[in-house]
Amino acid sequence: MTVMEDQQRVHVGLANVRLAERLIASMLLVLEPDEVACSDVTEMWKAFDGIERLGANAKTLLAARVEAAGSWRTAGARSPAEHLAKLGGTATNVARRALENSKQLPRLGAVSDALREGALSSAQVEAIVPAAGADPSAQDPLIALAATNLNELRAECLRTKAGADPDPDATHRRIRKSRYARTFTDAEGAWNLVARGTAEAGTRFESALEPILDAMYDRARAAGEHEPREAYAFDALMTLADRDTPTADIAADADADSVTTPRPRPKTRYLGLLHLSFEALVRGARAGEETCEIVGIGPVPVRIARELLGESILKLVITKGVDVANVTHLGRGPTAAQRVALLWSKPKCANIECSSTFVQIDHREPWAKTKHTTLSELDPLCPHDHKLKTHHRWSLIEGTGRRAFVGPNDPRHPRNKPPPDAG
């Protein structure tokens, strides 16, 4: 192909893109949502979602080229990311991540192909590209996982990056050094809090918050209140702030005519669960596919796990620990060992489309029928799914692990299983 032919191909491509833009714009000018047939509206929404994915992915593919073109300098921007942010009407940090992902794509063939096919959303691209960049061999499994659940995908991407990290301690120090908690007031006048830190710090916070949250949640349900759990989480956060404000101690001491200094506090103790390979614990470092993570939070260096074991109350599950899989308990609820095993192996709702870690232990068959509690017959379900199962006959399909959760009319529902042949 000659240079002129190549230039003509590029110009035709630009013309086609502009034509497509005008075509979509003309459709939006006459789009009246209330006039779209109910039988068509979901498919129409999916079609526009596909258009949005393709457009966003094209922008990601082009971002590095925009930087190379140098137009950001003549536009007076301080950086290529700032220039892209202004062009796209987004935040600079969002544009910066898109630019970083764009530079990774040329060596990630499978991810690049999935982008061009519109198989990945912007959120999925943001999760997959950094992880696949750290471990290119993980491209296909991560792309396949993208079809299930975004939170599951993000968690697996974190594990992939941690597994490919040649120096997890250095990464941990970098996260620790860049820790922050920021507050701001949004356009509606609401106060917002955003924080980032190490995984074990997050465990300490969540373990302090959870007992308060659970008590508030249970009390509200008993009173017939049905606000979202996230609302009670905010109330629990405020309760925690009131409880642990040093000025409250100062005021109490002042009333007692004592010195106005905060009272010493006992060291925070928290309950967590480490999923830790025995060999890694002994060796002091992970190797291969060995695991070291705080269940429900994310990977941590083995050094941090050792420190946690020395300072905290943890239920430690080691891959060479006690096997509780075949223990049968005659009580209605699981034993402590069974609960630990469930938290280790099934930290999230068993519904494959749900990533909630706030779960209730559910008997697959009612305890009133079996009169025993066995690990293999238990499933963790979030309150929403537990309610669907209890009151609306929804059910997990047959099998083990995380799987589809279906309504009573779904052919995969266990009650709809055809009877065995008479022979």
| pLDDT for position 312 | 54
Domain parsing of the chain, residue ranges:
47-164, 197-266, 271-318, 346-416
| pLDDT for position 317 | 58
Q: In this model, does residue 358 exceed pLDDT 90?
A: no
Least confidently predicted of 161-165, 230-234, 389-393: 161-165
Tell me which residue has tokens 């009580």: 331
Angle at 123 between CA 122 and CA 128, to 5 degrees: 95
The side-by-side arrangement of strands in the sheet containing 271-276 is 298-299, 292-294, 271-276, 313-318
Task: Give residue 251's pLDDT band: very low, low, confident or very high (50, 70, 90).
Answer: very low
Q: Quote the CA–CA distance of 255 and 251 in Å, as a whole number.
A: 6
9-48 pLDDT tens trace: 555 578 888 888 999 999 999 999 999 999 999 999 999 9
93-135 pLDDT tens trace: 889 999 999 999 999 999 999 999 999 999 999 999 999 999 9
The β-bridge partners of 379 are 362
- The model's pTM is 0.64
58-97 pLDDT tens trace: 999 999 999 999 988 888 888 999 999 999 888 888 899 9
176-205 pLDDT tens trace: 898 999 888 888 888 899 999 998 888 888
Residue-averaged pLDDT of the chain:
80
Q: Quote the CA–CA distance of 228 and 383 in Å, as a whole number.
A: 11
Tokens representing residue 62 in the block = 């082009």
Task: Give residue 276's pLDDT band: very low, low, confident or very high (50, 70, 90).
Answer: confident
Least confidently predicted of 268-272, 317-321, 399-403: 268-272
Task: Give residue 175's pLDDT band: very low, low, confident or very high (50, 70, 90).
Answer: confident
281-334 pLDDT tens trace: 778 888 877 778 877 677 888 888 887 776 555 555 555 544 555 556 566 667
Higher-pLDDT residue of 109, 252? 109
Calculate mean pLDDT across residues 131-154: 90
CB 142 within 8 A of CB 78: no
Least confidently predicted of 242-246, 278-282, 296-300, 350-354: 242-246
* Distance in angstroms between the alpha carbons of the first and the last residue of the chain: 70
Supply the DSSP string of 30-90, one letter for each residue.
H--GGGS-HHHHHHHHHHHHHHHHHHHHHHHHHHHHHHHHTHHHHTT-SSHHHHHHHHHTS
Q: At 335, which helix (H) or strand (E)?
A: none
| pLDDT for position 374 | 78
Least confidently predicted of 257-271, 305-319, 382-396: 257-271
